Amino acid sequence: MKPSKLPMTGSCRCGQVKFEISAPPLMTAACHCTGCQRMSSSAFSLTAMVPADAFAVVQGELVIGGLRGPQLHHHFCPSCMSWMFTRIEGIDAFLNVRPTLLDDPGWFSPFIETMTKEKLPWAETPARHRFEGFPAMEDLPRLIAEFAAAG
């Protein structure tokens, strides 16, 4: 559940936007909410919570799409419209990167899954912790510590 080598590189569908991640993720997740189902055009979204200071866009510009705030800032490639990462207003420590954009996403699996109350009946993941909604902010340090210990 940890990348085998750093930095990790990734890009959008068309390759116009490229990014680099220089630290392991704080945690990984799958989200079953209907918003993620719509935005990913799939059963759930996948997230690597990456320390903000370890993330850099190294090529291309981004545009805001999706909900267009005020709480969530969804960043997209302006050419192929791939949903690349999300910044949450008021949270500066990490941002949520879509791990299937990585050149090597093979290490990824979701550690938690969220919003299972809205999930499609057949949608299952191997996540260790399931939440009907979202985990409380005060639970995050414990989950992050457990993810780090899990290796």
| Site residues (vs Zn ion, CB under 5 A) | 12, 14, 16, 31, 33, 36, 77, 79-80
Tokens standing for residue 77:
């490639």
Residue number, 23 or 129, with CB nearest to Zn ion: 129
| Entry field: residues in the chain | 151
Least distance to Zn ion from the beta carbon of 135, Å? 13
Minimum distance from residue 148 beta carbon to Zn ion (Å): 23
Q: How far apart are CA 125 and CA 129, in angstroms?
A: 10
Residue closer to Zn ion (CB basis): 33 or 140: 33
The least CB distance from residue 34 to Zn ion, in Å, is 8
d(CA 144, CA 117): 23
CB of 151 to Zn ion, least distance (A): 27
Nearer to Zn ion, 12 or 48 (CB): 12
Burial class of residue 85 (count of CB atoms within 10 Å of its CB; 0-12, 13-18, 19+): buried
